[in-house]
Every structure is written in structure tokens, then in C-alpha cells.
């Protein structure tokens, strides 16, 4: 029964089995159904004379990748079961052997005739997990069929027989993954270089001020007024430096996914009220900051981080507000959502820059006049990270010459509580 397989190079057959092993591994990893598995093999198998069979070992029903008159079913295995001869039971034992073979064993089944294709074949194969209709996985036997006439005509099977179709697919996806990894590494590298050069520049400016002012103060030790003036400048530059370093550290912590939110229920309206009052006191009567709200709202969020967002929006509005020096903070309730809007009547932001202002270090106007507006271009980037971590919606509406409105939205925690 298996006489011609004696002539077959072991290497060649293990190569053939390699196809079946690779198919089986991919089919199982994708949880394919029998139909999907056969379709997958049909599209990847470039050697048309090598059909594949998928055998259900429970009843030996089998489907082929080779479809005749629209029918994929093959009956040669069921027929062996019906034969009840020594040969047929040896055949069935061999199928069991293939089904249970370890990775290094290459049992060969055959030779046998596949009625549907009118060909005599031997086959090698492996166990494959197939997804059933109920979603569970069940093992089948996946066979790769080799026509006997092919084996008989080809004695010296090249051991380096290329695993053409599989290796092409595998290499393709590996190469794509490698390409993606390289692109990502390049992108991260460029971002790091940009980050380090901007950061060094930003740190150097206040650092120089601290060193310079300290040196100047040393030269005027007998002039208390002069020294005090220098120390004020040293102090302002130091706190700017500290804010910058803290912002950089916070941002890199957030962007490396290490941000842990401390979620708790708190009164958003109280936070808004407190921040507005603090700002009003800080800026004096020249500025007018007011809060418009008609109810108290509680939310479940990280109180410290949300306060930081509110602080940032109000701080920016103060720096960019127009002649009227008016800032309006609105708390708007909309069903289960509460929206906080911070509006100013300042210069506004050109439309083409609206999406960029959330990027690290982006400042719309980098001219020396604009440098009088303090800031490091990190504020909105930090805001974005905080709001994204909360899965909160946020945005900006702006009209050149009319002003800007920055907003974010949170879920109202408890409607009842808001009624209190
Ligand atoms: P900065 O520290 O420069 O304020 P931000 O990240 O907070 O950094 O803001 C980024 C840029 O967005 C600012 O430099 C400014 O150009 C623009 N911007 C932010 N808020 C406003 C506003 N209310 N009106 C006009 N421009 C604004």
C-alpha cells in the first residue's frame, strides 16, 4: 500500500508536511471555520496539483480545497471505514497516527485514490483546530495530498525545496512588522531629538537669567534696592524653571502611560468658583472674571487634574484676553453631561492652527512681542493628556479678532446630588 513512499526522500516529505504545519498554525491562530480554512489554503496554495483535505476524525467526512461541480466533499476516508479489510484498518490507523503525530514525526498516508479528482495520492498532514458554529474549537486532520505520479517521476527531491507560498506570506508580514517598528523607532527618535533641543533651549533661558542676575547682584552688594531687584528676577526665573521642569516631567509621565487617575466624586461647581475667585484676586480690578452657572454639579474624576485643566484654560484666557479684559466661565448642563466653557474676547486663533495648539511646545505666535505672553507651550498638551485619560470630549472654538472659547465635557455623576 505504501510501496512508492519508500522511494521518497524524507526531507522532501517533511518539507511537504511543513506546508500543512504552517497552514494549521495560521488557521488556529485566526480561529477559522472549516470553510474559512479551506478558502485560506486555496488562496495561498500556489501548487494547484496539491489539494488539501480537511477531515473530521469523528465521522471521517472530509472537504477538499479542490471543488468539483461546486462540491467540496470527498468520501475516500468514509469508504475506507466501510471496507472492513486489513488494508483499510491499517489505513485508518495511519490516519490516527497523522492526527496524533509529534512535530518531528512525518507519517505518510497512502497511496490511495481520491475518486473526486481521479488521482492516486499519498498525503502528509497534521492536526488543526477549527472553529465550530457554536464558537468552540475542535481538532480536524489537515492533509496535504501529493500525486503519486509526481513522486515517481521525481526521484531526487531537492532538500532545499523552497517553501515558496508560505515563506512569501510569512516574510511579507514579518517585513511589514519590521517596517512598522523601524518607522515607529524613527518617529520616536525624531520626537526625542526635537524634545531635547527645545527643552534645553527653554531651560537655558531662565537658567542664564538666574546665573546672570546672581552675578550682577554680587557686584552691587552695597546697594540693597538693586540687589532686591535682582533677587526678584532670580526668584521669577527659578519658579518659571521649576514649572517648566515639572510640566516636562508630568507630560513624559502621562505620555508613557504612567498616569494614574485618582477618581473621586467632587463638586465641579465649587472648583470653578474657587479658581475664578482666586484669579480675580490675583489680577485685581482691571480684569473681570465671572462664573455663570445655575446649579451645582458633581462629577467623578481626578479632582487635582481637572482643576489643572480649568486653571490652564483660565490662565490662557487671561494672557490672551482683549481690551475688555473680560473672561467668562460657563458651566452648562446638558442631560447627563456637564460642559465647562472658558471664553475670552482676545485676538483669537487662526483656523489652521486650531488643531496644532494641543501639541507639545506649539505656540501660535513665536514673535518677540508674543514672547511677552508667558508660557512654554506645554499647557494644552498636558490638558489634552488629562482629558483623554478621562475619556472626556474637549475642544476650542475661535474667531480671529473676536476671541476664543476652550471647553471640555464630563459625565454628571449623580443627578440627585446636583439637585441638593
Ligand atoms: P502656552 O504656555 O504657550 O500658553 P499652551 O499649550 O497653553 O502653551 O497654549 C499653546 C498656544 O495656544 C499658546 O501659545 C497660544 O498661542 C494659543 N492659545 C492658548 N489659549 C489661547 C487663547 N485663549 N487665545 C488665543 N490663543 C491661545
On the question of pLDDT at 7 being above 90, the answer is no
Looking at ligand 1, which atom is closest to the CA of residue 312? 7
299 CA from centroid of ligand 1 (Å): 27
Q: How far apart are CA 79 and CA 162, in angstroms?
A: 35
Q: How far apart are CA 123 and CA 109, in angstroms?
A: 5
On the question of pLDDT at 74 being above 60, the answer is yes
C-beta of 321 in contact with ligand 1 (< 6 A): no
40 CA from centroid of ligand 1 (Å): 53
C-beta of 64 in contact with ligand 1 (< 6 A): no
Q: Convert the pLDDT of each residue in 313-349 to its tens digit.
A: 999 999 999 889 999 999 999 889 999 999 999 999 9
Q: What is the number of alpha carbons within 13 Å of residue 213 lying toward its C-beta?
A: 19
C-beta of 403 in contact with ligand 1 (< 6 A): no
Tell me the Ramachandran region of residue 81: left when phi exceeds 0, alpha when psi lies from -120 to 50, beta otherwise.
alpha
C-beta of 379 in contact with ligand 1 (< 6 A): yes
- pLDDT, residue 332, reads 94
Highest mean pLDDT among 1-5, 23-27, 194-198, 299-303: 299-303
Write the secondary structure of the chain as one string of H (helix), E (strand) and C (coil). Answer: CCHHHHHCCHHHHHHHHHHHHHHHHHHHHCCCCHHHHHHHHHHHCCCCCCCEEEECCCCCCEEEEEEECCEEEECHHHHHHHHCCHHHHHHHHHHHHHHHCCCCCCCCEEEEEECCCCEEEEEEEEEEEEECCCCCEEEEEEEEEEEHHHHHHCCCCCCCCCCHHHHHHHHHHHHHHHHHHHHHHHHHHHHHHHHHHHHHHHHHHHHHHHHHHHHHHHHCCCCHHHHHHHHHHHHHHHHHHHHHHHHHHHHHHHHCCCCCCCEEEEEHHHHHHHHHHHHHHHHCCCCEEEEECCCCCEEEEEHHHHHHHHHHHHHHHHHHCCCCCEEEEEEEEECCEEEEEEEECCCCCCHHHCCHHHCCCCCCCCCCCHHHCCCCCCHHHHHHHHHHHCCCCEEEEEECCCEEEEEEEEEECCHHHHHC
Looking at ligand 1, which atom is closest to the CA of residue 358? 6
Instruction: Name 395's Cβ contacts closer than 8 Å, sequence gap at least 6.
Output: 406, 407, 408
62 CA from centroid of ligand 1 (Å): 68
Q: Which residue puts its alpha carbon closest to atom 2 of ligand 1?
A: 375
C-beta of 320 in contact with ligand 1 (< 6 A): yes
Q: Which residue puts its alpha carbon closest to atom 21 of ligand 1?
A: 316
Angle in degrees, CA 329, 299, 403, rounded to 5: 20
Which of 247, 324, 379, 396 is the pocket-test mutation for ligand 1 (most atoms within 8 Å of CB)?
379
Looking at ligand 1, which atom is closest to the CA of residue 348? 25
- pLDDT, residue 157, reads 37
On the question of pLDDT at 361 being above 70, the answer is no
Q: Which residue puts its alpha carbon closest to atom 24 of ligand 1?
A: 320
Which of 315, 317, 375 is the pocket-test mutation for ligand 1 (most atoms within 8 Å of CB)?
375
Q: Convert the pLDDT of each residue in 230-285 to its tens digit.
A: 999 999 889 888 888 888 888 877 877 777 899 999 999 999 999 999 889 888 88
Q: Which residue puts its alpha carbon closest to atom 4 of ligand 1?
A: 375
Is the pTM higher than 0.75? no
Amino acid at each position: 500500500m505504501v510501496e512508492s513512499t519508500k522511494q521518497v526522500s524524507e526531507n522532501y516529505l517533511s518539507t511537504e508536511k511543513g506546508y500543512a504545519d504552517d497552514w494549521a498554525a495560521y488557521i488556529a491562530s485566526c480561529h477559522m471555520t472549516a470553510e474559512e480554512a479551506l478558502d485560506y489554503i486555496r488562496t495561498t496554495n500556489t501548487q494547484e496539483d496539491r489539494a488539501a483535505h480537511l477531515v473530521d476524525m469523528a465521522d471521517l467526512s472530509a472537504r477538499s480545497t479542490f471543488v468539483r461541480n461546486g462540491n467540496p466533499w470527498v468520501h475516500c476516508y468514509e469508504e475506507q471505514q466501510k471496507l472492513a479489510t486489513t488494508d483499510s484498518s491499517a489505513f485508518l490507523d495511519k490516519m490516527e497516527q497523522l492526527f496524533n503525530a509529534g512535530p518531528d514525526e512525518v507519517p505518510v498516508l497512502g497511496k490511495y485514490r481520491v475518486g473526486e479528482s481521479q488521482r492516486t495520492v499519498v498525503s502528509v498532514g497534521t492536526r488543526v483546530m477549527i472553529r465550530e458554529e457554536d464558537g468552540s474549537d475542535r481538532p480536524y486532520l489537515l492533509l496535504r495530498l501529493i500525486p503519486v505520479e509526481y513522486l515517481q517521476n521525481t526521484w531526487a527531491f531537492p532538500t532545499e525545496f523552497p517553501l515558496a507560498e508560505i515563506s512569501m506570506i510569512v516574510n511579507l508580514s514579518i517585513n511589514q512588522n519590521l517596517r512598522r517598528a523601524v518607522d515607529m523607532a524613527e518617529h520616536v527618535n525624531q520626537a526625542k531629538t526635537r524634545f531635547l533641543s527645545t527643552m534645553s533651549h527653554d531651560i537655558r533661558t531662565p537658567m542664564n537669567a538666574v546665573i546672570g542676575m546672581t552675578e550682577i547682584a554680587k557686584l552691587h552688594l552695597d546697594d540693597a534696592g538693586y540687589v532686591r531687584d535682582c533677587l526678584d528676577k532670580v526668584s521669577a526665573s527659578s519658579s518659571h524653571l521649576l514649572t517648566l521642569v515639572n510640566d516636562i516631567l508630568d507630560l513624559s509621565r502621562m505620555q508613557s502611560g504612567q498616569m494614574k487617575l485618582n477618581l473621586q466624586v467632587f463638586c465641579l461647581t465649587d472648583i470653578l468658583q474657587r479658581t475664578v475667585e482666586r484669579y480675580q484676586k490675583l489680577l485685581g480690578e482691571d480684569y473681570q472674571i465671572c462664573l455663570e452657572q445655575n446649579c451645582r454639579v458633581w462629577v467623578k474624576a481626578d479632582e487635582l487634574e481637572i482643576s489643572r485643566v480649568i486653571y490652564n484654560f483660565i490662565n490662557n484666557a487671561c494672557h490672551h484676553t482683549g481690551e475688555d479684559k473680560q473672561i467668562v466661565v460657563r458651566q452648562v448642563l446638558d442631560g447627563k453631561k456637564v460642559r465647562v466653557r472658558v471664553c475670552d474676547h482676545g485676538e483669537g486663533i487662526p483656523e489652521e492652527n486650531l488643531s496644532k495648539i494641543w501639541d507639545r511646545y506649539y505656540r501660535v505666535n513665536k514673535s518677540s512681542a508674543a514672547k511677552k505672553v508667558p508660557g512654554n507651550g506645554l499647557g494644552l498638551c498636558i490638558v489634552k493628556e488629562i482629558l483623554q485619560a478621562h475619556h472626556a470630549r474637549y475642544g476650542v472654538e475661535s474667531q480671529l479678532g473676536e476671541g476664543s472659547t476652550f471647553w471640555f465635557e464630563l459625565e454628571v455623576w449623580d443627578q440627585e446630588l446636583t439637585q441638593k
